[in-house]
Copies of this chain bind each other. A is one copy, B any other.
């Protein structure tokens, strides 16, 4: 391996924009969701993921992986959501070790109430700011980066 290949100006620009956009965006989404619906962005993502699953339920490990969260982190969040009545835990009949997180009707209702404002903000702050070409490039490029990291991921490391 030779000398480190530093980032050139455009690469730096892209990298900094990527980091900055995420931080800013995540914070705005968090604030809006908390204010309007009393849940965090992470909780929204969890509820949304469950709502798309068959029977609106998913196993803990699978859900953790789907929202790029750790096992223990998910245990905590599901605990919060359960206390709020938005999610319910269900034991798996075939495998005693497994636990399903199930979206309740209340959870679905909250999600439907929160979604319009959330999506509108995502549009305003990111999606609608991009040109169609940029949107496409972002979907392709980041999609590929995503795929590679998932493929490379140390499987022992929580899927994270």
For A115-151 the 0/1 string (1 means CB < 8 A from B) is 1100110110111011101111111111111101110
Q: List 19 A-B contacts (CB under 8 A).
A: A4-B119, A6-B119, A10-B135, A11-B135, A13-B143, A14-B139, A15-B126, A17-B138, A18-B126, A18-B142, A20-B68, A21-B142, A21-B145, A21-B146, A24-B68, A126-B145, A130-B145, A137-B138, A137-B141
Q: Judge whether A84 is part of the interface by a CB distance below 8 angstroms.
A: no
Contact B27 A160 (CB under 8 A): yes
Contact B10 A139 (CB under 8 A): yes
Contact A18 B10 (CB under 8 A): no
Nearest chain B CB to A135 CB, angstrom units: 5
- Residues of A in contact with B (beta carbons under 8 Å apart): 4-7, 10-11, 13-15, 17-25, 27-28, 45, 68-69, 115-116, 119-120, 122-123, 125-127, 129-131, 133-146, 148-150, 153, 160
Contact B143 A7 (CB under 8 A): no
Residues of B within 8 A of A131 (CB): 141
Contact B141 A138 (CB under 8 A): yes
Residues of B within 8 A of A14 (CB): 127, 130, 135-136, 138-139, 142
Residues of B within 8 A of A18 (CB): 22, 126, 138, 142
Contact A45 B21 (CB under 8 A): no
